[in-house]
Amino acid sequence: MTLDVSVVGGSGYTGGELVRLLLRHPGVRLARVTSSKMAGLPLHAAHPNLRRATELKFTSPEDLETCDVLFTAVPHGASMGMMGRYMSLGKKVVDLSADFRLKDPADYPKWYGSEHTAPDLLGRFVYGLPELHRAQLKGADHASCPGCIATASILGLYPLLRNGLIDPRRIIVDAKVGSSAAGHEPSPSSHHPERSHVVRLFAGTGHRHTAEVEQELTFGERPRVSLTVHAIEMVRGISATCHAFLTDGPAGRAGDKDIWTAYRKEYGDEPFMRVVKDKKGVYRYPEPKILSGTNYCDVGFELDPLSDRIVVVSATDNLMKGAAGTAVQCMNIMCGLEETAGLDAIGLHPV
């Protein structure tokens, strides 16, 4: 079975990653890649790494035709207005914007500053994080991929909350992100002289991915997550440091063995989850540098017995596991393909 797939909004960083993955995917044929600004130009005009990898040219979004899978990688707020048309063209749709991630329409004015214009469609989308929603993704027609910071935060904390090991009312996530997370369009803060050599707090409170983290990590009581985000001098990658406090269980508070058991229980069979916790060495904790271009999420932890605190570190490539890689993983599951198809890249070292 070979699927015909198309990408809407292929000139940005996420769209470029989708194209790179789909061109080498054994189960798909990339039919169209759209861009309003670059229609008629070869794909390598936006993505120089694709030179001679394909003869495809960008087409206008107006020229889209029906396909088996349609990936939509348009800016936040643009997808909801066009989703009716996208659904008519793609037998299955994988949306990479924020427009269909949150289930409650009331959350959009709170976190995104505007009303949702297609609230009737929200319930048709599965939150596209396979480690949590693989069963719902199987055979689904529509998936909404998580935000990059949300992905790292959720995957770091999920086994602990799922197994009742930490207090859901006291969770702090401090995320460091590379510049590609800000997208393709430049801004004063992304201008090289302003971005170079910085460790810049750009969201002390109120980051919109907080809503996704709380939504997806609700097991009875909705957790209270305090999310802080720093921009650092790195192009790709997210390192999310999560601070939480242990709860009392039947045998007292959890130790290293209990934490290991929880992570192995939830992630032992996951193809893209790795627990990284070595006693010595440079890379004894997760490090986004060596995950560039891969679909892995590495998670590690350390217990602080003096304060009953656990520190969890979760690392990803924000353009891969935080965006395009997860989108392809969702497609594989939705269409009955091998889940890891097209996603077998191993990170580079040194870089």
CA quadruple 105, 110, 113, 119: dihedral, nearest 10: 0
Confidence at residue 251, expressed as pLDDT on a 0 to 100 scale = 66
The first and second tokens of residue 105, run together, are 């329409």
Looking at the chain, which residues constitute the CATH 3.30.360.10 domain(s)?
Answer: 149-317
| Per-residue pLDDT band at 176 (split at 50, 70, 90) | very high
Residue with the bigger pLDDT between 56 and 248: it is: 56
Q: SS3 of 245, please? A: strand
DSSP 75: P
d(CA 126, CA 48): 33
Query: Could you report the per-residue pLDDT of 261-305, keeping only the tens digit for each?
Result: 999 999 999 999 999 999 999 999 999 999 999 999 999 999 998
Alpha helices in 59-147 (DSSP H): 79-89, 107-112, 130-137
Beta-bridged to residue 302, according to DSSP, are: 311
342-345 CB contacts, 8 Å cutoff, 24+ apart: 342/21, 342/22, 342/24, 342/25, 342/26, 342/27, 342/28, 343/21, 343/272, 343/295, 345/293, 345/294, 345/295
Three-point CA angle 298, 349, 241, nearest 5° = 30
**What was the pLDDT predicted at 192?**
83
What local confidence, expressed as pLDDT, does residue 245 receive? 96
Overall fold of domain 149-317: Dihydrodipicolinate Reductase; domain 2 (3.30.360)
Delimit the CATH 3.40.50.720 region(s) of the chain. Answer: 3-124
Strand, helix or coil at 152?
helix
| 28 pLDDT above the threshold of 80 | yes
* Distance separating alpha carbons of residues 194 and 318, to the nearest angstrom: 21
Rg (CA), the chain: 20
State the Cα–Cα distance between residues 152 and 177, nearest whole angstrom: 11
Band the pLDDT of 254: cuts 50, 70, 90: confident
**Amino acid, res. 102:** L
- For residue 1, pLDDT beyond 90: no
- pLDDT tens digits, residue range 258-269? 999 999 999 999
Indicate whether 133 pLDDT > 80. Answer: yes
Out of 1.10.510.10, 3.30.1490.20, 3.40.50.720, 3.40.50.10170, select the CATH number for domain 3-124: 3.40.50.720
Any idea which of 127-136, 194-203, 247-256, 335-344 has the lowest mean pLDDT? 247-256
Cβ-contact 177, 241 below 8 angstroms: no
- pLDDT at position 182 is 77
Mean pLDDT score, 120-132: 98
Task: Indicate whether 51 pLDDT > 70.
Answer: yes
For 47, half-sphere exposure in the C-beta direction (CA atoms, 13 angstrom radius) is 26
103-127: average pLDDT: 97
Query: pLDDT (tens digit, 9 = 90+) per residue, 54-69?
Result: 999 999 999 999 999 9
Higher-scoring residue by pLDDT: 188, 302 = 302
Which pair of structure tokens corresponds to residue 120? Answer: 């009737």
Residue 148 known to be catalytic = yes
Condensed to tens digits (0 to 9), the pLDDT of residues 94-103 reads 999 999 999 9
Sheet containing strand 142-144, strands side by side: 28-33, 3-8, 67-72, 90-95, 142-144, 126-127
From 67, 145, 148, 242, active-site residue: 148
> Which one has a higher pLDDT value, 124 or 186?
124
